[in-house]
């Protein structure tokens, strides 16, 4: 661990649950930053902007700003600008993330059948919520049949709240892919490009970084495939059966984020 100088951290289920800090998380993040590690919070959260997330975390005592956060929507905006500049996007998402989709052209998918110029080039899937009803999913299916590309911010099947696990858009995404016989381009975790963008933000190489998450596949093993040391926490959406069924083995497994300073102690590089 002596080579580690950068730490990537998932938020939901690791630092917070329903945006309330987990025990010891604030103190652990402060200790890690004080020890000289570069820190970036990397999240598939699609219900809030980076500024909103930073404000909520700062109010809870976490030493972070918007510049310390990379979200799936922000990564999606960069992906679309590079690969599909000017594309018209039909967005299906729960929450207002317009600020993080800078430069993305969002069209009203409901009007595209009567306004040909509004027909989307891309069906863009964010996080699930009440908006994911039959009518919206059927419209998305129709756009895909007519040739629109499918881009998704993540494949998360569920996330942890104070009331328990809640269904996420990955479950709907799988249905759209099968029905329309297409494969989505993923822009958030577990996409390798997402981790590479995070490393570029910190100016660190993969061998100098560590990723902490509660999702063994999307957070930890995906990071390890990108050459990053993976640390799984037994909090949030973590379930023992997921670890047993995983496609690989995490480099480290700890009980909570509060235990991370102990794992890192002695490896700080200022």
154: in domain: yes
Beta-carbon count within 10 A of 255 CB = 10
18: in domain: yes
134: in domain: yes
Q: Among the three residues 165, 186, 207, which one is the final residue of a domain in this structure? A: 186
**Digit-coded pLDDT (tens) for 80-117:** 999 999 999 999 999 999 999 999 999 975 554 444 55
Q: Are residues 179 and 197 in the same domain?
A: no
* Chain centroid to CA 56: 17
Alpha-carbon distance 123 to 112, whole Å?
A: 12
Amino acid 269: pLDDT: 44
Kindly state the tokens that stand for 118.
């509004």
Note whether 88 and 95 are within 8 A (CB).
Answer: no
Domain carrying residue 212: 6-44+190-267
Amino acid 265: pLDDT: 87
**Digit-coded pLDDT (tens) for 38-54:** 999 999 999 899 999 99
Q: Are residues 100 and 142 in the same domain?
A: yes
In the chain, the N- to C-terminal Cα span, in Å, equals: 15
Q: Are residues 206 and 182 in the same domain?
A: no
Which DSSP string corresponds to 172-234? Answer: HHHHHHHHHT--PEE-STT-HHHHHHHHHHHT--GGGEEEEES-IIIIIIHHHHTT-EEEEES
**Digit-coded pLDDT (tens) for 147-176:** 999 999 999 999 888 888 899 999 999 999
Note whether 252 and 232 are within 8 A (CB).
Answer: yes
Count up the domains in the chain and report the number: 2
63: in domain: no
Question: Using alpha carbons only, what angle is made at residue 90 by residues 84 and 96, rounded to the nearest 5 degrees?
Answer: 105
Range with the poorest average pLDDT among 47-56, 136-145, 160-169, 200-209: 160-169
Note whether 122 and 89 are within 8 A (CB).
Answer: yes
75: in domain: no
Q: Are residues 166 and 89 in the same domain?
A: yes
CATH of the domain at 195: 3.40.50.1000
What is the enclosing helix (H) or strand (E) of 20? strand 20-21
65: in domain: no
């Amino acid at each position: 661990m002596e080579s580690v100088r950068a730490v990537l951290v998932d938020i939901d289920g690791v630092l917070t649950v329903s945006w309330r800090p987990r025990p010891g998380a604030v103190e652990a993040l402060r200790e890690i930053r004080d020890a000289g590690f570069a820190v970036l919070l990397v999240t598939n959260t699609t219900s809030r902007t980076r500024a909103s997330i930073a404000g909520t975390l700062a109010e809870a005592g976490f030493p972070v700003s918007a510049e310390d956060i990379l979200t799936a929507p922000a990564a999606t905006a960069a992906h679309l600008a590079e690969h599909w500049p000017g594309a018209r996007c039909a967005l299906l998402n729960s929450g207002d993330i317009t600020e993080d989709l800078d430069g993305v052209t969002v069209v009203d998918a409901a009007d595209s059948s009567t306004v040909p110029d509004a027909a989307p080039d891309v069906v863009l899937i964010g996080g699930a919520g009440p908006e994911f009803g039959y009518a919206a999913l059927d419209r998305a299916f129709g756009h895909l049949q007519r040739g629109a590309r499918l881009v998704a911010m993540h494949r998360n099947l569920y996330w942890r709240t104070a009331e328990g696990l809640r269904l996420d858009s990955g479950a709907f995404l799988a249905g759209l892919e099968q029905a329309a016989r297409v494969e989505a381009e993923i822009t958030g975790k577990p996409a390798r490009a997402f981790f590479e963008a995070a490393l570029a933000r910190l100016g660190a190489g993969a061998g100098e970084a560590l990723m902490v998450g509660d999702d063994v596949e999307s957070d930890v093993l995906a990071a390890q495939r990108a050459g990053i040391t993976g640390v799984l926490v037994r909090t949030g959406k973590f379930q023992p059966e997921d670890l047993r069924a995983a496609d690989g083995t995490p480099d480290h497994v700890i009980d909570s984020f509060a235990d991370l300073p102990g794992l890192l102690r002695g490896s700080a590089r200022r």
